[in-house]
Amino acid sequence: MHTTRLIAALGVVPAVAVLTACGSMSSGPMAPAFNQSSLPPTIQVPAGNKVAMETVGKGDITYECRDKANVPGQTEWVFVGPDAKLWDRGGKQVGKYYGPPATWESNDGSRLTATQLAVAPSGPTSLPFQLVKANPAVGTGAMTGVTYIQRVALQGGTAPATVPCTPATKGQKQVVQYQADYIFWKAS
């Protein structure tokens, strides 16, 4: 009888060990908070703010061939607006980014627009780094209290380079794919 209890007890130990290991894999150590020290100073969020949410935006940017401002007879690709989904670091969709005007919206319904403060080059084929100051959020949720948003870790999104924009193609639109991290900050 003692042997049966001992064998049963020993069978529980591996099961507990496996469950403990699985639990620690899913929760694991927290990833370090976003570090902005490698960004150009003009893109860094001022002291007194802390990272509230990190997202990855994946989607499209639309450009339209239009007359170049103040240059009669010349045309250029003009940014029309973004259409992207926002994903958390675990791969779950948590919101969307669209415009105009540029709007970040959480799945909980809270949303905000922002005013651009600064941009800085990020690479020849990518959108620039960007820092915006958030306007007050509409609705209550994840966007409530956001003070700044940084656009970093950019891939793609620049105006079409292989499709010409000429007076003959004026009005045509082109869509390009892009990806960027959007770092949301709140006052600390």
Query: Tell me, what's the pLDDT at 72?
Result: 85
Size of the chain in residues = 188
pTM of this structure: 0.81
Quote the CA–CA distance of 21 and 26 in Å, as a whole number: 9
Residue 17: predicted pLDDT = 33
Q: Work out the pLDDT band at 15, boundaries 50, 70, 90.
A: very low
- Asked if residue 69 lies in contact with residue 100, where contact means CB atoms within 8 angstroms, the answer is no
Cα-Cα end-to-end distance for the chain: 61
**What does the pLDDT read at residue 46?**
96
What are the tens digits of pLDDT across the range 22-74?
Answer: 332 223 345 567 899 999 999 999 999 999 999 999 999 999 999 999 898 89
**Contacts (Cβ under 8 Å, ≥6 apart) of 135:** 112, 113, 114, 115
- Residues of the chain above pLDDT 70, percent: 83
Tens digit of each residue's pLDDT (9 = 90 or more) over 72-114: 889 999 999 999 999 999 999 999 999 999 999 999 999 999 9
**CB burial readout 59-84, b (16+ within 10 A) else e:** bebebbbeeeeeeeeebebbebbbeb
